[in-house]
Amino acid sequence: MVDTSVELCGLRLDNPVVPASGTFGYGNEFREFYDINVLGSFSFKGTTREPRFGNPTPRIAECEAGMINAVGLQNPGIDAVIREELPRLKTFFRKPVIANISGFSVEEYAYCCERIDKQEQVGLIEVNVSCPNVRHGGMSFGTCPDAAAEVTRAVKAVTTKPVFIKLSPNVTDIVSIARACEEAGADGICLINTLLGMRIDVARRRPVIANTMGGFSGAAVFPVALRMVYQVAKACRIPVMGCGGVTTARDVIEMMMAGATAVQVGAANLVNPYASKEIVEALPGEMERLGIEKLSDIIGIV
């Protein structure tokens, strides 16, 4: 019997498989497909202080082995999440959930994290400083070490829950940003968010996406994500949650060998609603084939 459990800042996960924010809503859509308690945890939809509709449509463009999205942080706002989504989640999910918090100012991040800090089921806060689809906020905090550190300090001051900073790959030096977050007190790093991308409808001679650009994700980004997980895990002492293009149990193992303690599954959930469940189920078999008894033994082994 292999051991798939991992520990993330004192939080024990039955397995490292965590559906990524923005691909799993608040869990509700997926319970119609399977019992989501098989997951390690999941990261809920990026939540802001105010309700947001997001960007105009079309928001989605298909790519080779991936997709571009420009949803623009559509969410019901922190009040509705606390009032409606979390009580409902509690009725069908018994495990700690990861709260993805997004914002447009340092104050907004702090406000939302302070509110979510009081939510019992939230085991960990993931601060999204890397959304490529909003102006004046989002990614601008995650592409500059000082700004990322400032958000980290502000959030850490208002919560006792572990704080992971979710970083953008759209930077020249991912390590300097991750280190700035670590020095500012972050308990962990999550990476990568989507890569800024674009498609053009050549017949209509205009961008496919109404917002022109969007975040590229899916199987194609896996090598980029893996490389960044490797670099950050080598450079930081705090744990890393790997994210980007993960599609199979083998990808999970590869990401862990690169240094990830837990592994998020994103776009794969959207094309196969059972993707995360199938990865969880395939993990023990893959471990046996690869001679891994305890999954946590391989973290950062390369």
Residues that bind another protein (CB under 8 A): 22-25, 29-30, 32-33, 45, 53-54, 57-67, 69, 71, 74, 208, 218-219, 267, 269-274
Please identify, using beta-carbon distances, which residue of 45 and 161 lies nearer to another protein. 45
Residue 114, Ramachandran bin (φ over 0: left; ψ between -120 and 50: alpha; else beta)? alpha
Cis bond upstream, residue 132 (ω within 30) = no
50 or 173: whose CB is closer to another protein?
A: 50
Q: Which is nearer to another protein, 176 or 212 (CB)?
A: 212
Shortest gap between Cβ of 251 and another protein (angstroms)?
15
Instruction: In angstroms, give the least distance from the CB of 244 to another protein.
Output: 15
For another protein, give the closer residue by CB, 71 or 154: 71
What is the nearest approach in angstroms of another protein to the Cβ of residue 71? Answer: 5
Residue 190 annotated to the active site: no
Query: Of 112, 113, 131, 190, which is the active-site residue?
Result: 131
Task: From 71, 154, 78, 142, select the one nearest 109 (Cα to Cα).
Answer: 154
C-beta of 208 vs 255, nearer to another protein: 208
Q: Smallest distance from the beta carbon of 29 to another protein, in angstroms?
A: 4
CB of 178 to another protein, least distance (A): 27
Active site members: 131
